[in-house]
Amino acid sequence: MDILTWTYIIVGLSFALYIGIAIWSRAGSTKDFYVAGGGVSPVANGLATAADWMSAASFISMAGLISFMGYDGSVYLMGWTGGYVLLALLLAPYLRKFGKFTVPDFVGDRYYSKTARLVAVVCAIFVSLTYVAGQMRGVGIVFSRFLEVEIETGVIIGMIIVLFYAVLGGMKGITYTQVAQFCVLIFAYMVPAIFISILLTGNPIPQIGLGSELKEGGYLLDRLDGLLTDLGFAAYTNGSKATIDVFFITAALMVGTAGLPHVIVRFFTVPRVRDARRSAGFALLFIAVLYTTAPAVGAFGMYNMLSTTSNRSIASMPQWVNNWQKTGLIAVEDKNADGLIQYVKNTEQNELVIDKDIMVLANPEIAELPNWIVALVAAGGLAAALSTAAGLLLVISTSIAHDLLKKSFTADISEKQELTAARIAATLAVVVAGYFGINPPGFVAEVVAFAFGLAAASFFPVIIMGIFSTRMNKQGAIWGMLTGLLFTIAYISYFKFINPEANKPENWLFQISPEGIGTLGMILNFVVSSTISKMTPPPPVYIQDLVEDIRVPRGAGAAVTH
């Protein structure tokens, strides 16, 4: 069977599974809608958290960036995995013990202020919309290639699917759907990686294959270094980014992970604080499977791409290039009319332009794997994008219905009305996200990096200081969040929308890229919030006692002396 037929079969079966689960586990109450009734097991929550967190950026775009950036792409690996450890150790258990459904709910109660709650709602919406736009873009790319439709049409199809089970099932439906989606995405990621590793190196373990000798002779990374330097690019194993930018991007991704509202809310779906720690550990284990494989997938993709395209005649271009040209994500132009296609660093001479986001999806075709594997990767990419998009839509809907309406403006709203408002908010959010999916400000991983930067600059300081500082007050939290968020938005907007031609290292503040500026926004947040807290009255005594209490394990008491 051809790729299109296999895609309809595999993607159709996976979608039927997701929708069936959503119908089976549909939310009947606000507690079901927000936190799945609080009764999810640690293993199931670990699987769901891994799927929630491993978005289209992880599945589709990260290995693609590593393919083209080489060593510099390691910032995404370090940042996103390190951030999850930070979340599991520093935040998850304490937030779960605090017992609030959402980050704005935590901020509102911890900082005893409706204004703080409203600022947190605005931050949550900005972060989540930026993040979900990247997911919609990933969905559009998958559909455009494998269902042979326009990217715009693919985004619209994805909007309809994710809206159905997010709005119907809420967190309960999303949780069990994400368990299935993790199984699909990890199988879809590992199968082609294992096949390609065997074909290139004879080793079935991709992580080992990355450092192995090729069947045709020479080590993979040595060959990649040679191929790329011959074409004018930097060596694959050398970095070209400024050290400060590497540090700031990694830090932004790490603390941004720890401040992501759609990941934090997952720890409220388990029955006990201990289960929050256990589910975080399971999630890290499941996440590590993909993240330790990504460098190998990136290297395999780049090696096969160079081997099949560089200095080939247009007439003998491989079929995968022709397939992807139809999507507009690959452009071939014989600029010097010599009949050969040159892939070189010099943009004026380069005759092959490849969108970084296609590398993982195109990898099986480049390696000439069976059509069913190609279709399987499409299903995995959709599972990764849709699982995260659903979690983000839930954050937006709960922020508006629970934190904005219920807690700030209409306290007497009924549970049924609150549930209806949450579903309407999710519908509006997916429309906005779809627009940015069709008109993205960058590659999927770049867009997601912006979301992490916004989370780092706005949420992380107020959450971490809300847990570990009894002196942090509402004035400090409000002004800190506003400072971090506005600074980061302004910086990203300038270089990505207002003056994109200036988006070069020599024009960046302290050589910090838009992807890493969230770290500076976070530092400003810490400075502003700490300074203002010291200049204004301390929190009420009951808030200080609350902060002390959430850091004490249940059952702790005075030591027994004899």
177 is written with which tokens? Answer: 């759907």
Strand partners, 331: 353
DSSP string, 166-190: HHHHHHHHHHHHHHHHHHHHHHHHH
The tokens of 473 are what? 């007050």
Tell me the β-bridge partners of 213. Answer: 219
Question: Which helix H or strand E contains 376, and what residues bound it?
Answer: helix 371-398
Kindly list the structural domains of the chain, giving each domain's residue range(s) and its CATH number in brackets, ordered by start.
Answer: 3-449 (1.20.1730.10)
Is residue 353 helix, strand or coil?
Answer: strand
Which pLDDT score, from 0 to 100, does residue 19 have?
A: 76
Task: Determine the longest span between alpha carbons in the chain, in angstroms.
Answer: 92
Amino acid at 159: M
DSSP three-state, residue 331: strand
Find all residues with CB under 8 Å of 121, minimum gap 6, and list them.
Answer: 104, 399, 400, 403, 404, 408
Alpha helices in 469-555 (DSSP H): 474-493, 517-535, 541-550
User: At how many degrees (to 10) do helices 444-468 and 74-86 cross?
Assistant: 30
- Hey, what are 102's tokens? 């959402």
The answer to whether the CB of 209 falls within 8 A of the CB of 201 is yes
Q: For residue 199, give Cα distances in angstroms to 209, 472, 540.
A: 10, 57, 65
* CA neighbours closer than 13 Å in the CB half-sphere of residue 102: 33
Nearest residue to 139 via CA among 384, 327, 323: 384
Q: Give CA–CA dist 177/392, Å, rounded.
A: 14
Please, what are the averages of pLDDT over each run of 10 residues along the chain (562 residues)? 86 83 63 55 84 79 87 86 76 75 80 87 80 79 80 83 65 74 91 95 94 91 91 86 91 81 72 76 88 93 88 83 84 85 84 86 91 90 80 75 71 75 80 79 66 86 91 95 93 87 91 92 96 95 90 50 38
**Distance in angstroms (rounded) separating the CA atoms of residues 260 and 528:** 21
In the block, tokens 């401040």 appear at 259
pTM, entire model: 0.82
CA quadruple 222, 228, 232, 237: dihedral, nearest 10: -60
The pLDDT score that the predictor gives to residue 172 is 63
The one-letter code for the residue type at 257 is T
Contact predicate 181/424, CB 8 Å? no
Give the span between the Cα atoms of 113 and 478, in whole angstroms.
9
In whole angstroms, give the CA distance from residue 532 to residue 110: 17
- Residue holding tokens 């510099």? 72
**What is the structure's pLDDT at 397?**
77
β-bridge partners, 313: 340
Q: How far apart are CA 195 and CA 177, in angstroms?
A: 28
- Taking CA atoms, 263 is separated from 49, 95, 424, in Å, by 7, 12, 22
- DSSP character string of 116-164: HHHHHHHHHHHHHHHHHHHHHHHHHHHHHHHS---HHHHHHHHHHHHHH
**Long-range contacts of the stretch 78-82 (C-beta < 8 A, 24+):** 78/250, 78/253, 78/254, 79/249, 79/250, 79/251, 79/252, 79/253, 79/254, 79/256, 79/257, 79/452, 80/253, 80/254, 80/257, 80/291, 81/284, 81/287, 81/288, 81/291, 82/250, 82/253, 82/254, 82/257
Burial of 196 (0-12, 13-18, 19+ CB in 10 A): buried
